[in-house]
Amino acid sequence: MTHVNLWRRGLGEVPGDLLDDPELETLVLAENGLASVPDRLFSLPRLRMLDLGHNAIASLPDAIGDLASLTDFLYLHDNRLRDLPASLARLTRLRYLNIGENPLAELPDAVTRLEGLVELRASGCPIERLPPSIGRLARLRELHLRDARLTTLPDAIGELRELRHLDLRGNPLAALPASIADLPRLEKLDLRWTPLAAPPWIDRLEARGALVYR
């Protein structure tokens, strides 16, 4: 048994028998009223995808950094997380991370150290600023920050040379760095439902074929 889907089963806790299965590769525990997860969950040696979304988890143990095989997806959205453990930074092979709809006031530093990330979703978090270290995510193709509290972005956003899709909908944006216009692969910039007056470099983006929604 390598794939287990226990979505919306009303479990309340992680079944103990799952924690003894060294062959487990994908595990869905979304919408189960989980308030915590045991350290043993993060010792599964072959786990590639883990879905803990839509629960009531307020913190994660440092042991999450032990999931050396976690490469595909990590869903943590719609929980009660105010921070993430520093050990998360060890998941350098992880390609997709969703931390949206958590009460995160800032993007945890550990997230910006996940050098393998291709897609990052942090929509619906009350994030007020992005750290300059966001530029470390050199492989990132999609960055979703809808309905946060951002008024601008750091110049380092221009270091995301693989970025294709930047979603900033619903943020109270007052300004954006011109470095966005120099992103060579940017295909879609979504600025809908923001008060931002279009900066002059927007025309440059559109002239080279990028879609700008405003």
CATH of 1-110, one of 3.80.10.10, 3.40.50.2000, 2.60.120.260, 3.65.10.10: 3.80.10.10
CATH of 128-214, one of 3.80.10.10, 3.60.20.10, 3.10.180.10, 3.30.70.260: 3.80.10.10
**pLDDT per position as a tens digit, 11-58:** 999 999 889 899 999 999 999 999 999 999 999 999 999 999 999 999
The whole-chain average pLDDT of the chain stands at: 97
User: Is the predicted pLDDT of residue 87 greater than 80, yes or no?
Assistant: yes
Instruction: State residue 20's pLDDT score.
Output: 87
| Pairing status of strand 26-28 against strand 3-5 | parallel
Is there a shared CATH topology between the 1-110 domain and the 128-214 domain?
Answer: yes
**pLDDT per position as a tens digit, 147-193:** 999 999 999 999 999 999 999 999 999 999 999 999 999 999 999 99
Instruction: State residue 72's pLDDT score.
Output: 97
pTM above 0.85, yes or no: yes
What is the residue extent of each domain of the chain? 1-110, 128-214
